[in-house]
C-alpha cells in the first residue's frame, strides 16, 4: 500500500512558490526604488506584506513533513549538507575572482565562513543550521528521551542563535 497524496500540502507548496516569485518580482517593477507616497507604493507594500512569508512557509512545510522521520546521526546524515558545502565553496570561489585579482584573499576567507562570499549564501547557512538541528528538535517535540537531550536541544538552539547577525 502506497502513501496517500496530500493535495493540501501541494497547494501550500504552490502558494509558497508563487510568493517567492512575487517577492523577487517586486524588484523588477521598481518597488525598492519607490520613495514618494503613492497608490503604487501602498499596493506594493500590501503585496510584499502578504508574500514575504514564502521562506517561512517552506520551512514550516519541511518541518511538518519531517516530523515523523527517524534520524540516525552518522556520517551518512552529514553527506547531503557536505555536498552543498562543496557547491557553495565552488560558487564562492567563482564569485570572488575580482577579490583575488585585487589581492584581497583574507577578506575572501572571512566572507566564506560568514556565508557572505556568494549571493544568497545566507540561505545555505540557515539550511545547514536547521538540517543539523532537525534530529534534536524532533526528539524534543516527540518527548521520547530524557531530560539531558532536551537540555542539549536548548543549548544547541541558544548557541546557534545568540549573537548571530
pLDDT in tens, 111-136: 888 888 887 788 888 888 778 777 77
For residues 139 and 153, the answer to whether their CB atoms sit within 8 Å is: yes
- Tell whether 151 and 75 lie within a shared domain: yes
**Mean pLDDT across the chain, nearest whole number?**
79
- Tell whether 133 and 116 lie within a shared domain: yes
Q: Provide the H-helix boundaries in the chain.
A: 7-28, 39-51, 54-65, 79-95, 97-101, 105-113, 121-142, 147-161
Give the single-character DSSP code of 5. P
- Tell whether 136 and 88 lie within a shared domain: yes
- Tell whether 74 and 129 lie within a shared domain: yes
Res 152: pLDDT:
64
Grid coordinates representing 150 are 532536551
Res 109: pLDDT:
82
Domain C-terminal end among 11, 39, 65: 65
- Tell whether 54 and 111 lie within a shared domain: no
Domain C-terminal end among 27, 46, 65: 65
Residue 150 contacts by C-beta under 8 Å, 6 or more apart in sequence? 140
- Tell whether 165 and 85 lie within a shared domain: yes
- Tell whether 79 and 53 lie within a shared domain: no
Res 149: pLDDT:
58
pTM: 0.61
For residues 108 and 102, the answer to whether their CB atoms sit within 8 Å is: no
- Tell whether 61 and 124 lie within a shared domain: no
Has residue 159 got a pLDDT over 60? Answer: yes
Res 163: pLDDT:
47
Number of domains in the chain: 2
Structural domain of 101: 70-165
Grid coordinates representing 138 are 524532533
The radius of gyration of the chain from alpha carbons, rounded to an integer in Å, stands at: 20
* Cα(2)–Cα(48) distance, integer angstroms: 39
Grid coordinates representing 29 are 517593477
Q: Binning pLDDT at 50, 70 and 90, where does residue 1 land?
A: low
Please compute the mean of the pLDDT values over residues 3-29 and round it to a whole number.
86
- Tell whether 162 and 85 lie within a shared domain: yes
Grid coordinates representing 75 are 556520517
Domain C-terminal end among 46, 65, 84: 65
- Tell whether 53 and 102 lie within a shared domain: no
Q: Binning pLDDT at 50, 70 and 90, where does residue 160 land?
A: low
- Tell whether 79 and 153 lie within a shared domain: yes
Res 19: pLDDT:
92
* Cα(136)–Cα(149) distance, integer angstroms: 8
- Tell whether 163 and 88 lie within a shared domain: yes
Amino acid at each position: 500500500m502506497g502513501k496517500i497524496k496530500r493535495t493540501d500540502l501541494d497547494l501550500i507548496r504552490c502558494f509558497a512558490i508563487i510568493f517567492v516569485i512575487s517577492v523577487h518580482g517586486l524588484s523588477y517593477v521598481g518597488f525598492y526604488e519607490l520613495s514618494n507616497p503613492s497608490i503604487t507604493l501602498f499596493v506594493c507594500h500590501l503585496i510584499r506584506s502578504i508574500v514575504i512569508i514564502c521562506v517561512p512557509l517552506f520551512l514550516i512545510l519541511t518541518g511538518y513533513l519531517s516530523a515523523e522521520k527517524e534520524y540516525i546521526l552518522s556520517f551518512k546524515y552529514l553527506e547531503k549538507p557536505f555536498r552543498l558545502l562543496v557547491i557553495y565553496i565552488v560558487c564562492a570561489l567563482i564569485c570572488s575572482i575580482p577579490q583575488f585579482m585585487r589581492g584581497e584573499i583574507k577578506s575572501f576567507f572571512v566572507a566564506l565562513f560568514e556565508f557572505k562570499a556568494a549571493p544568497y549564501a545566507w540561505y545555505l547557512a540557515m539550511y545547514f543550521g536547521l538540517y543539523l538541528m532537525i534530529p534534536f528538535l524532533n526528539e524534543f517535540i516527540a518527548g521520547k528521551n530524557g531530560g539531558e537531550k532536551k537540555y542539549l536541544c536548548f543549548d544547541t538552539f541558544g548557541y546557534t542563535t545568540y549573537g548571530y547577525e
